[in-house]
Amino acid sequence: MVAGVPLLAFLALPIFAIAWRALGAGVAATDEFNQAVRLSFETSLASIVAIVILGTPLAFALARFRFPFCRLVGVMVDLPVVLPPAAAGIGLLLAFGRHGIVATSFAFTTTAVIMAQIFVASPFYIRAATIAFKGLNRDLEESAALDGARPLDIFGRVTLPICSKSLLSGAITSWARALGEFGATILFAGNLVGRTQTMPLAIYLGFESDLDLATKIAGILLAIASGAILTVRWLTDRSGE
C-alpha cells in the first residue's frame, strides 16, 4: 500500500497547486476571460449534443452487428484517444481546410472549434455506449419483440432507458474532454477572442502574459473535471446495483 504513495503524491500535488493558487488569485473577470468561459461552454455543449446524436447509432451498430471491416471501424473510433491532439489538428486542416480533401471554409471559425472537440471527444462516448449496448441483457428486448413492438420502439423504450446511466456517464466524460480540448483547436481553429479562444487556449496565452488569469481558468477547469469524475463515479456505482 505504501508503494502507491509516491505516484499518488505526484498526481495530487499539481492539482493541489492549481487549487491553492486559483483560490488565492483574486482577479477581476476581464472581458477576455468571460468570452473564453462562454465560448467553452457553448462549443462543448454543441459538441456533446452532436456526439450523442451521431455516436449512439454508431455505438449500437458496433455493439450489435457484424459488418465488413467491423474491427477496423472499432480501431478508427478509438484512435483519437491516443492520437496526439496536435496531429488531429493537422489532420482536420488537411481534411477540412480550404484546400483539404473536403474543402470547406470552417477553419478559424467557431464551427472548427466544435469539429476539433467532436474529433477528440467522441471516442469516450462511443466506447461507453458500445460497452453498455453489449452488456445489456437481450432477453428484455426479445420479449418486447415477441409482444409485437417495432425495432425503433424497442430501442427507444427498452434499450435506451436501461443503458441511460452508462450513456450519461459516457457523455459526461466526453463533454469534459471536449471542454479541455487544446491542441487540435489551436491548429484547426486558431486563436481569436470570442470566436475560437476557448478556456484552454486562454490558459496557454495567459501563461505568457497574465499568469494569475491563466491559473484562475485552470482552477475552473479543474473544478469542472472533478465534478465530472465524481458524477461519473456516482452513476457507475448506481448502475452496478
Partner 1 sequence: MSPKRCSWVLAALASAGAVQAQTLTVFAAASLKESVTRIARRFEATHPGTTVVLNFAGSQQLVAQLRSGAQADVMLSAGFEAIRNLTYKPDSLRLFALNRLVAIVPSSDRTAHSFRDLDRLGSIVVADKAVPVGNYTQIMLTSASKRFGANWRAQVEGHIVSREQDVRSVLAKVELAEADAGIVYTTDARAASGKVNVVPIPNDLNIQAEYPAVSMDDRGAQFVKELFSDASQRDFKAAGFGSPLEPRPTRLTSGSLVRLFDASTLARLPATAFTVVLHGHRESYRGYDLRPSLQKLGGRRLKLKGADQYEVQLNLGQCLEGGCYLVTMKDGNLEIFLPNQPPKAWVRWLRSIDLR
Contact positions vs partner 1 (CB under 8 A): 93, 97-99, 107-109, 186, 189-193, 195-196, 204-205, 207-209, 211
Q: Least distance from C-beta 95 to partner 1, angstroms? A: 12
Q: How far is the CB of 90 from partner 1 (least distance, A)?
A: 9
Contacts of 85 (CB under 8 A, 6+ apart): 116, 120, 181, 182, 183, 184, 185
Helices and strands, number each (H, E), in the chain:
11, 0
Which is closer to partner 1, CB of 137 or CB of 209? 209
66 or 99, CB closer to partner 1? 99
Q: At closest approach, how far in Å is the CB of 82 from partner 1?
A: 24
Rounded to whole angstroms, what are the CA distances from 25 to 28, 30, 110, 190?
A: 9, 13, 29, 28
Identity of the residue, 163 or 186, whose beta carbon is nearer to partner 1 in the bound complex: 186
Q: Which is nearer to partner 1, 128 or 202 (CB)?
A: 202
Give the residue from 188, 189, 172, 168 showing the smallest Cα distance to 224. Answer: 172
CB of 94 to partner 1, least distance (A): 8
d(CA 95, CA 184): 13
